[in-house]
C-alpha cells in the first residue's frame, strides 16, 4: 500500500471517513457500472473495490465528488483490463460476479433481450462514443462530460449524436419492435406480430 | 387488397436487415434508461453495496492508516518486534505489522526478492480475510499456500516461524473480535496448500534438473548445470545430492541421499564408492571411482547403490566441477540420479540384467534357469534343445576382420530368432552358438519346419562389405532331456558334443563369397518369406477382388482374386515374387490353403446372396508345383463344406504346373473338376507345345497371356512383332473355342479394346474397364448395383 503523505496525515480523521461514507455507495455504483458498460464480462466488483481503496488513499487530492467521479472513471477505464487478464487466469465456473452479470444477460423476457442487445451495442461502439454514452447514462450533463473527458461541449454533443445514431440504427436492425416500457411490460404481442420473430412463413 | 399488399411489403422489408428502419430517439432513450436501471440493479445486488460493508470497509482502511503511522514511528527508533505491536490499535492494524514480520521470517534466508513483497502483502490480506470476513475472499486459502510455495523459496524453519507469527496474530484477533471465524482450520488448509506447492515445486525442480541432465550431452554442460542449481536445491530437492572433497569423501549429504543409502548408515566422511551395493552378484556393480582431480571430465556412470532396508536401485552419478573460485575450495558437488525412477530406463536395466548385450537375446543364465525349471516340472512333456553353430565364423573373422564378423553374427542371430519365433527361448550360448529351447506339444509340432526354415535362412548370404557377401555353414545339434542326461549343465555339454559330432560329419568349408546385391535381395526375401508365413498364420493377408466382365456387355460376371499382403516394409514387393519365395521356404502350401478357404467361403456366400447370377471367384495358384496332395485334400474338404454349383470357384493354374515330372497331366485334376470346381489355364499362349498333353483334361477356360494382350493394343510404333500379334491372338481364341474354353483377355482399358477382343471371339475381359481391384464388399456392391439395373431394365 502506498502512502501519499496528504494533508490529513497518514490517519484520516472522522470527517474524511464521513465524507467517504457519504459518497461510497454512489461512487462504487458508478465505478462498477462504468466497468460493466465497457465490458459486461469484467469483474466489476473487484474493479470497484480496488478503485475505492485507491480513492481513499488519494482522498485529499480531489476537490469534490464530481472530481472524484471523473478520476474514478478514468481509472476504471484502464483498470478493468488488468482484472480481465487476472480473471482469465483465476476465474472459476462459479464466479459470483460473473453470475451476477449473467442474470442480466439471461434471456428471460423480451425486455431483457432488448437491454442485453443495447449493452452489447454500446460495448461495440468506438471508445470515444462509448465513454460519452456511458457518462450520460450515469447522469452526467454535457458540460460535466466535457470536463471529465477534457473535451469541448460541442465535441461531446457530436459524439453523443453519432453514438445515438449508431445505436438507433443497430438496435433497429436487431429489434424491429419497440421494447415495452419498463414500468409496464404491456400486453403480449399479437400472433401476427409474433410471426416476425419466427421463420417468416407468415410473410409469404 | 392494397392494404394487404402494403402489410406484406412492410413485413418483407422488416425481414431484410438493411431495410430496417432505425428506432426513434424516444425508443432509444427508453432502452438506455432501462439499461441503466438494469445495470444498477445488478451492481447494487452485491454485498459491497450494503452500508454494513461500507462501514467495515472504511474501518479497515482507517486501520491501515493507523498501522502505517505506528510503523513509521517505530522504524525511526528500532526494529518492530512482537512485543512492540501497539495494543490499542484495531486488529486490522496489527495485520500490517504481522505482514512485515512474516515477510521478514520468510525472507530470512534471503530467498524472497523485492518483486515478491507486494504478492506477500496481497496473500496475507487475503489470508486474513479468510478469518475476518470469509465472504469477501477471492482466493481459496489452500490456493494461497500453494501460490506462496510456488513463488517464494523458504526454509522449513523460516516457514514455521512465519506460521507462528500468524497464529499469534489470529489468536489476538479472536480475543478482540469474537465474531471472527475459527482460524485453526484456515491455517490447516493453508498449510496443506503450502505443502502441495512445495512438493510440486520440488518435483518440478527435479524434473527440470533431470531433464536438463538427460539433454546435456557434454560432460561440461552437466557440471555447469549441477553447479548452477546445486546450492539452490541441495536441501529441498528430493534428489540424492551431496558434496565431496577432492579426496572423494562426502562432506555434505542431503536428506534424499541419506534416505537412499539408509537413514542410519553414516555417510559423512565416507567414500561414495564404499556405499555401493556389494553382494555376490554375478556382475560388477560398482566400477572404478572417477578421478576427482580431473575436473574436465566429470563422470556419468551407471552404478548400483543400495539401502540396507530396500531393494538395490540403479543410480547414475553426475559430478560437478571443482568450486575453487567463489565457494569453498575443492568442493565437488554430485547428484545421484535415481534412474530406477525412469520407467524406460528401468525397463532397459531390467532387460539388460536378463539379456545379453551383443545379440539382445536372453542371457545364458536366464536360459539355464528356464531350462532347469522346465526340466524339473516336466508338465509340458519332453524338453529339447537345438543349437545352431555358425561354423566358419573364424574364417570370416580372419578374412574380413572382427567388425564384419560381428555384423554377420548379428544378422544370423536375427535370422535365427525370426525362424524360431515359436520356440520357448532363443539364446546365445557363446560367440558362434545359438541355442533354441523347445518345450510343449505345440512347439515340438512346429520344430521340424522351423529348423528347415532356419537352415535355409542361415545359409542365405550375408553382406560383409559393400561389394561382398558370405554364406556360412550352420551346424545343427539337438538334445532332449531324460536319460542319460541329467541337469541343465549336462544337457548343454551333450549339445556341444552333438555339434562337434556334426562338424566332423559335415566337414564345413570356407565361407562362400557372393555379390552383395544378390545377398541383399536374398536377405530381404528371407525376411519376406518369414513374414508371409506369420501373416498367413495371423490372418494378416487379405484377398483383393478384381472384377471380370463380359466382353459383350461389360457386366461383372466374376472376380479375379489375388493375395494382398500389407507388409509394413516390403509393401512394394510383387506378391508373385513373395509367393515364389514362399514356395522355396515351404509356406506356399499355407498361402494356397488360406486362399482356397477364403475364396470358397466367399463363393458360397455370394451364391447364397445372388443365387444363379452369383459371380464366380477365380484364384491364381503359384506356378511351382501347386497341386500337391495336401492341396487336393484341402480343396476337397472346402468343397464338401461349402456346397455351390460348378464353376463358381475357379482355379487358375499355369500350363507349366499342370504336368507332372513325367510330362503327364495330374490325374487328380479330373477328380477335381467333377467336384464343382473349374480349372482355368493361366497364361494361355505360353508353352503351346505342352497343350496336346493336356488333352482330355476338363478345362473350363483360359486366360490369355498378359504379354500378348498388351502387345495387341500397344500404342508404340508397329513392329514386325506387333503385326503378328493379332493373328496369334485370334488363333489362340479360336483354339480355345475349339476346346470349349471361355477366353479371358486381361488388360482391357477402353470400350474400343473390349469391342476388338469381342470381335476376335473373347468371352471375358479384365482390366481398367471392368474396374480396379477392391475388397470383397466393393465387388459385392458393384454386382448388386448391376443386378438392380438389370432388374429395372427388364
Q: What is the ipTM of this complex?
A: 0.71
Which residues in B lie closer than 8 A to residue A52 (C-beta atoms)?
57
Q: At what angle do helices B156-176 and B117-132 cross, to 10 degrees?
A: 40
What whole-number percentage of chain B has pLDDT above 70? 55
d(CA B238, CA B206): 7
**pLDDT by residue (tens digit) across B389-409?**
877 777 788 888 777 777 788
List the single residue in A with minimal CA-CA distance to B28: A168
The answer to whether residues A53 and A124 belong to one domain is no
List the single residue in A with minimal CA-CA distance to B60: A53
Which residues in B lie closer than 8 A to residue A100 (C-beta atoms)?
42, 45-46
- DSSP letters spanning A60-79: GG-SSHHHHHHHHHHHHHHH
Which residues in B lie closer than 8 A to residue A178 (C-beta atoms)?
23, 27, 30
What whole-number percentage of chain B has pLDDT above 90? 1
d(CA B376, CA B481): 10
The answer to whether residues B364 and B454 belong to one domain is yes
Does B8 reside within a domain?
no
Cβ atoms B356, B347 nearer than 8 A: no
Please give the average per-residue pLDDT across B406-420, as a whole number.
79
The answer to whether residues A8 and A83 belong to one domain is yes
CA distances from B719 to A130, B40, B712, B716 (A): 87, 97, 12, 9
The answer to whether residues B259 and B343 belong to one domain is yes
Does B437 reside within a domain?
yes
What was the pLDDT predicted at B217?
40
Which residues in A lie closer than 8 A to residue B65 (C-beta atoms)?
10-12
**pLDDT by residue (tens digit) across B492-508?**
777 777 677 666 554 44
What was the pLDDT predicted at B527?
53
| Separation in Å, CA of A89 to nearest CA in chain B | 12
Q: Which range scores top for mean pLDDT: A191-200, B292-301, B574-583?
A: B574-583
Does B121 reside within a domain?
yes
Does A199 reside within a domain?
no
Does B395 reside within a domain?
yes
Please give the average per-residue pLDDT across B171-175, as a whole number.
71
The answer to whether residues A21 and A64 belong to one domain is yes
What was the pLDDT predicted at A175?
46
In this predicted structure, the answer to whether residue A186 has a pLDDT above a threshold of 70 is: no
Mean pLDDT of chain B: 69
What was the pLDDT predicted at A179?
42
The 3-state DSSP class for residue B445 equals helix
Does A96 reside within a domain?
no
Q: Which range scores top for mean pLDDT: B30-34, B542-546, B599-603?
A: B599-603
The answer to whether residues B315 and B401 belong to one domain is no
Most A-contacting residue of B58, B99, B100, B150 (CB-CB within 10 A), to test interface: B58
The answer to whether residues A82 and A14 belong to one domain is yes
B300 against B405, higher pLDDT: B405
What residues form DSSP beta bridges with B764? B550, B744
Position B184 confidence tier, pLDDT thresholds 50, 70, 90: confident
The answer to whether residues B92 and B73 belong to one domain is yes
| Separation in Å, CA of B34 to nearest CA in chain A | 6
Does A204 reside within a domain?
no
Does B11 contact A172 at a Cβ distance shorter than 8 Å? no
The answer to whether residues B389 and B269 belong to one domain is no
The answer to whether residues A78 and A16 belong to one domain is yes
Most B-contacting residue of A98, A118, A122, A184 (CB-CB within 10 A), to test interface: A118
What was the pLDDT predicted at B177?
65
**pLDDT by residue (tens digit) across B646-675?**
778 888 877 776 666 666 666 666 666 666
What was the pLDDT predicted at B777?
86
Q: Which of B529, B551, B573 is the last residue of a domain?
A: B529
The answer to whether residues B661 and B778 belong to one domain is yes
In this predicted structure, the answer to whether residue B91 has a pLDDT above a threshold of 70 is: no
Q: What is the CATH number of the domain that holds B468?
A: 3.30.70.270
The answer to whether residues A15 and A69 belong to one domain is yes
The answer to whether residues A71 and A155 belong to one domain is no
Does B213 reside within a domain?
no
B528 against A199, higher pLDDT: B528
Does A102 reside within a domain?
no
Most B-contacting residue of A25, A124, A139, A170 (CB-CB within 10 A), to test interface: A25
> In this complex, is the C-beta atom of A114 within 8 Å of any C-beta atom belonging to chain B?
yes
Position A178 confidence tier, pLDDT thresholds 50, 70, 90: very low
The answer to whether residues B406 and B343 belong to one domain is no
Cβ atoms B119, B42 nearer than 8 A: no
Q: Which of A44, A169, A182 sits opposite B34 (nearest CB)?
A: A182
Q: What is the DSSP letter of B487?
A: S
Q: Which of B14, B44, B121 sits opposite A176 (nearest CB)?
A: B14
Cβ atoms A203, B15 nearer than 8 A: yes
> Shortest CA distance to B20 belongs to which of B11, B30, B33, B31?
B11
d(CA B213, CA A136): 63
Does A152 reside within a domain?
yes
Does A133 contact B42 at a Cβ distance shorter than 8 Å? no
The answer to whether residues A44 and A128 belong to one domain is no
Does B23 contact A53 at a Cβ distance shorter than 8 Å? no
What was the pLDDT predicted at B89?
35
| Separation in Å, CA of B153 to nearest CA in chain A | 22
Does B23 contact A164 at a Cβ distance shorter than 8 Å? no
The answer to whether residues B195 and B229 belong to one domain is no
B597 against B174, higher pLDDT: B597
Please give the average per-residue pLDDT across B209-238, as a whole number.
56
d(CA A71, CA A105): 29
The answer to whether residues A71 and A135 belong to one domain is no
The answer to whether residues A130 and A74 belong to one domain is no
What was the pLDDT predicted at B774?
81
Does B32 contact A165 at a Cβ distance shorter than 8 Å? no
Instruction: Please report the sign of the dihedral spanned by the C-alpha atoms of residue B546, residue B551, residue B556, residue B557.
Output: negative
**pLDDT by residue (tens digit) across B437-487?**
888 777 766 666 677 677 777 777 787 777 777 777 777 777 776 655 567
Does A201 reside within a domain?
no
Does A24 contact B54 at a Cβ distance shorter than 8 Å? yes
In this predicted structure, the answer to whether residue B80 has a pLDDT above a threshold of 50 is: no
Q: Which of B485, B506, B529 is the last residue of a domain?
A: B529
The answer to whether residues B183 and B322 belong to one domain is no
Q: Phi first, then psi: give them for residue B545, nearest 5 degrees.
A: -110, 115
The answer to whether residues B276 and B383 belong to one domain is no
Q: Is B685 left (phi over 0), alpha (psi -120 to 50) or beta?
A: left
Does B28 contact A202 at a Cβ distance shorter than 8 Å? no
* A residues 38..97 contacting B (CB < 8 A): 44-46, 48-49, 52-53, 56, 90, 97
Q: Which of B27, B34, B68 sits opposite A115 (nearest CB)?
A: B34
**pLDDT by residue (tens digit) across B33-43?**
888 888 888 78
Q: Which of B20, B46, B66 sits opposite A173 (nearest CB)?
A: B20
What was the pLDDT predicted at B586?
58
Q: What is the CATH number of the domain that holds B223?
A: 3.30.450.20
CB atoms within 10 A of CB B6: 10
What was the pLDDT predicted at A91?
40
In this predicted structure, the answer to whether residue A167 has a pLDDT above a threshold of 50 is: yes
What was the pLDDT predicted at B115?
52
The answer to whether residues B268 and B197 belong to one domain is no
Q: 392494404: which residue's cell?
A: B3
In this predicted structure, the answer to whether residue A92 has a pLDDT above a threshold of 50 is: no
Least confident of A17-26, B125-134, B595-604: B125-134
Which residues in B lie closer than 8 A to residue A24 (C-beta atoms)?
54, 57-58
| Separation in Å, CA of B28 to nearest CA in chain A | 6
In this predicted structure, the answer to whether residue B773 has a pLDDT above a threshold of 50 is: yes
Q: Which of A50, A65, A91 is the last residue of a domain?
A: A91
Does B9 reside within a domain?
no
In this predicted structure, the answer to whether residue B513 has a pLDDT above a threshold of 60 is: no
Q: Total structural domains in chain B?
A: 4
Does A190 reside within a domain?
no
Position A126 confidence tier, pLDDT thresholds 50, 70, 90: confident
**pLDDT by residue (tens digit) across B20-74?**
567 888 888 888 888 888 888 878 877 677 787 777 777 767 766 765 665 555 4
Range of the structural domain that residue B441 is part of: 360-529
Q: Which of B35, B46, B57 sits opposite A45 (nearest CB)?
A: B46
In this predicted structure, the answer to whether residue B568 has a pLDDT above a threshold of 60 is: no
Does B35 reside within a domain?
no
What b-and-e string marks burial along B504-526, b requiring 16 or more CB atoms within 10 Å of the CB? eeeebeebebbebeebeebbebb
Which residues in B lie closer than 8 A to residue A38 (C-beta atoms)?
none
List the single residue in B with minimal CA-CA distance to A100: B42
Q: What is the DSSP letter of B774?
A: B
Q: Total structural domains in chain A?
A: 2
Does A195 reside within a domain?
no
Does A137 contact B14 at a Cβ distance shorter than 8 Å? no
Q: What is the CATH number of the domain that holds A129?
A: 1.10.10.10
Q: Phi first, then psi: give them for residue B244, nearest 5 degrees.
A: -115, 155
> Shortest CA distance to A115 belongs to which of B27, B44, B18?
B27
Range of the structural domain that residue A51 is part of: 1-91
Position B536 confidence tier, pLDDT thresholds 50, 70, 90: low
The answer to whether residues B771 and B643 belong to one domain is yes
**pLDDT by residue (tens digit) across A18-33?**
888 888 888 888 888 8
The answer to whether residues A128 and A60 belong to one domain is no
Does A137 contact B45 at a Cβ distance shorter than 8 Å? no
> Shortest CA distance to B154 belongs to which of B188, B189, B195?
B195
In this predicted structure, the answer to whether residue B361 has a pLDDT above a threshold of 60 is: yes
Angle at B57 between CA B55 and CA B62, to 5 degrees: 95
Does B664 reside within a domain?
yes
Amino acid at each position: 500500500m502506498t502512502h501519499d503523505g496528504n494533508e490529513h496525515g497518514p490517519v484520516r480523521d472522522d470527517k474524511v471517513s464521513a465524507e467517504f461514507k457519504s459518497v461510497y455507495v454512489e461512487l462504487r455504483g458508478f465505478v462498477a457500472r462504468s466497468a460493466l458498460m465497457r465490458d459486461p464480462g469484467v469483474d466489476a466488483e473487484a474493479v470497484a473495490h480496488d478503485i475505492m481503496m485507491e480513492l481513499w488513499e488519494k482522498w485529499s487530492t480531489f476537490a469534490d465528488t464530481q472530481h472524484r467521479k471523473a478520476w474514478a472513471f478514468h481509472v476504471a477505464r484502464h483498470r478493468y483490463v488488468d482484472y480481465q487478464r487476472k480473471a482469465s487466469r483465476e476465474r472459476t465456473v462459479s464466479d459470483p460476479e460473473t453470475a451476477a452479470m449473467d442474470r442480466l444477460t439471461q434471456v428471460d423476457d423480451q425486455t431483457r433481450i432488448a437491454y442485453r442487445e443495447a449493452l452489447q451495442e454500446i460495448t461495440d461502439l468506438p471508445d470515444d462514443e462509448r465513454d460519452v454514452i456511458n457518462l450520460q447514462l450515469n447522469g452526467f450533463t454535457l458540460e460535466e462530460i466535457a470536463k471529465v473527458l477534457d473535451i469541448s461541449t460541442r465535441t461531446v454533443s457530436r459524439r453523443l449524436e453519432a453514438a445515438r445514431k449508431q445505436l438507433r440504427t443497430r438496435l433497429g436492425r436487431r429489434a424491429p419492435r419497440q421494447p415495452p416500457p419498463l414500468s409496464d411490460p404491456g400486453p403480449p404481442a399479437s400472433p401476427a406480430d409474433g410471426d416476425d420473430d419466427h421463420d417468416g412463413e407468415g410473410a409469404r | 387488397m392494397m392494404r394487404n399488399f402494403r402489410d406484406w411489403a412492410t413485413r418483407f422489408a422488416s425481414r431484410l436487415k438493411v431495410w430496417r428502419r432505425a428506432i426513434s430517439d424516444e425508443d432509444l432513450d427508453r432502452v438506455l434508461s432501462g439499461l441503466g436501471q438494469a445495470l444498477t440493479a445488478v451492481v447494487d445486488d452485491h454485498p459491497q453495496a450494503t452500508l454494513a460493508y461500507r462501514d467495515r470497509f472504511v474501518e479497515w482502511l482507517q486501520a491501515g492508516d493507523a498501522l502505517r503511522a505506528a510503523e513509521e514511528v517505530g522504524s525511526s527508533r528500532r526494529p518492530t518486534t512482537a512485543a512492540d505491536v501497539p495494543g490499542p490499535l484495531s486488529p486490522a492494524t496489527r495485520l500490517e505489522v504481522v505482514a512485515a514480520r512474516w515477510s521478514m521470517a520468510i525472507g530470512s534466508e534471503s530467498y524472497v526478492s523485492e518483486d515478491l513483497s507486494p504478492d506477500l502483502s496481497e496473500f496475507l490480506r487475503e489470508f486474513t480475510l479468510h478469518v475476518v470476513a470469509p465472504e469477501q475472499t477471492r482466493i481459496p486459502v489452500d490456493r494461497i499456500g500453494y501460490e506462496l510455495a510456488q513463488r517464494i523459496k523458504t526454509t522449513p524453519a523460516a516457514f514455521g516461524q512465519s506460521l507462528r507469527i500468524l497464529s499469534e496474530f489470529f489468536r489476538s484477533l479472536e480475543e478482540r473480535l469474537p465474531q471472527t471465524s475459527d482460524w485453526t482450520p484456515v491455517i490447516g488448509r493453508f498449510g496443506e496448500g503450502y505443502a502441495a506447492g512445495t512438493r510440486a515445486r520440488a518435483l518440478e525442480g527435479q524434473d527440470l534438473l533431470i531433464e536438463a541432465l538427460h539433454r546435456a550431452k557434454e560432460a561440461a554442460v552437466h557440471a555447469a548445470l549441477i553447479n548452477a542449481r546445486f546450492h539452490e536445491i541441495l536441501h529441498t530437492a528430493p534428489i540424492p545430492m551431496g558434496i565431496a572433497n577432492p579426496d572423494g569423501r562426502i562432506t555434505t549429504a542431503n536428506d534424499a541421499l541419506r534416505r537412499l543409502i539408509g537413514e542410519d548408515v553414516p555417510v559423512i566422511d565416507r567414500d561414495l564408492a564404499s556405499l555401493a551395493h556389494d553382494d555376490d552378484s554375478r556382475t560388477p556393480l560398482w566400477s572404478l571411482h572417477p578421478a576427482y582431480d580431473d575436473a574436465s571430465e566429470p563422470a556419468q556412470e551407471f552404478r548400483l547403490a543400495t539401502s540396507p532396508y530396500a531393494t538395490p536401485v540403479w543410480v547414475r552419478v553426475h559430478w560437478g566441477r571443482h568450486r575453487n573460485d567463489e565457494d569453498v575450495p575443492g568442493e565437488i558437488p554430485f547428484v545421484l540420479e535415481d534412474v530406477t525412477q525412469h520407467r524406460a530406463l528401468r525397463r532397459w536395466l531390467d532387460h539388460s540384467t536378463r539379456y545379453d548385450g551383443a545379440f539382445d537375446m536372453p542371457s545364458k543364465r536366464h536360459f539355464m534357469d528356464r531350462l532347469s525349471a522346465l526340466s524339473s516340472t516336466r508338465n509340458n512333456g519332453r524338453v529339447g534343445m537345438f543349437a545352431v553353430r555358425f561354423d566358419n565364423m573364424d574364417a570370416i573373422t580372419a578374412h574380413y576382420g572382427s567388425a564384419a564378423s560381428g555384423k554377420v553374427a548379428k544378422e544370423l542371430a536375427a535370422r535365427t530368432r525370426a525362424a524360431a519365433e515359436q520356440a520357448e527361448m532363443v539364446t546365445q550360448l557363446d560367440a558362434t552358438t545359438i541355442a533354441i529351447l523347445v518345450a510343449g506339444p505345440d512347439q515340438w509340432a512346429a520344430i521340424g519346419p522351423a529348423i528347415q526354415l532356419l537352415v535355409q535362412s542361415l545359409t542365405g548370404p550375408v553382406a560383409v562389405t559393400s561389394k561382398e557377401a558370405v554364406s556360412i555353414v550352420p551346424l545343427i545339434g539337438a538334445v532332449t532331456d531324460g536319460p542319460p542326461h541329467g541337469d541343465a549343465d549336462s544337457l548343454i555339454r551333450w549339445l556341444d558334443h552333438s555339434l562337434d559330432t556334426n562338424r566332423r560329419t559335415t566337414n564345413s568349408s570356407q565361407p562362400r563369397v557372393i555379390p552383395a546385391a544378390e545377398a541383399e535381395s536374398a536377405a530381404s526375401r528371407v525376411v519376406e518369406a518369414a513374414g508371409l508365413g506369420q501373416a498367413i498364420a495371423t490372418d494378416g493377408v487379405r484377398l483383393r477382388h478384381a472384377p471380370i466382365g463380359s466382353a459383350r456387355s461389360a457386366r461383372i460376371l466374376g472376380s479375379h482374386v489375388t493375395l494382398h499382403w500389407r507388409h509394413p516394409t516390403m509393401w512394394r514387393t510383387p506378391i508373385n515374387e513373395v509367393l515364389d519365395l514362399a514356395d522355396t521356404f515351404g509356406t506356399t502350401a499355407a498361402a494356397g490353403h488360406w486362399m482356397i478357404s477364403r475364396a470358397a467361403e466367399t463363393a458360397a456366400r455370394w451364391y447364397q446372396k445372388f443365387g444363379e447370377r452369383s459371380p464366380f471367384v477365380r484364384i491364381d495358384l503359384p506356378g511351382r508345383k501347386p497341386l500337391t496332395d495336401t492341396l487336393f485334400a484341402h480343396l476337397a474338404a472346402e468343397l464338401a463344406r461349402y456346397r455351390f454349383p460348378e464353376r463358381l470357384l475357379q482355379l487358375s493354374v499355369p500350363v507349366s504346373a499342370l504336368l507332372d515330372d513325367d510330362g503327364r497331366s495330374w490325374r487328380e485334376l479330373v477328380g477335381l473338376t467333377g467336384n464343382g470346381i473349374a480349372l482355368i489355364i493361366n497364361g494361355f499362349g505360353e508353352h503351346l507345345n505342352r497343350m496336346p498333353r493336356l488333352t482330355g483334361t476338363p478345362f473350363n477356360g483360359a486366360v490369355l497371356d498378359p504379354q500378348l494382350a498388351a502387345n495387341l493394343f500397344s500404342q508404340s510404333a508397329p513392329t514386325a512383332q506387333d503385326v503378328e500379334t493379332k493373328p496369334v491372338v485370334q488363333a489362340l481364341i479360336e483354339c480355345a473355342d475349339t476346346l470349349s474354353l471361355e477366353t479371358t483377355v486381361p488388360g482391357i482399358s477402353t470400350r474400343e479394346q473390349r469391342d476388338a477382343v469381342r470381335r476376335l471371339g473373347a468371352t471375358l475381359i479384365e482390366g481398367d474397364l471392368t474396374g480396379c481391384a477392391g475388397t470383397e464388399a466393393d465387388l459385392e456392391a458393384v454386382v448388386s448395383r448391376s443386378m438392380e439395373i438389370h432388374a429395372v431394365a427388364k
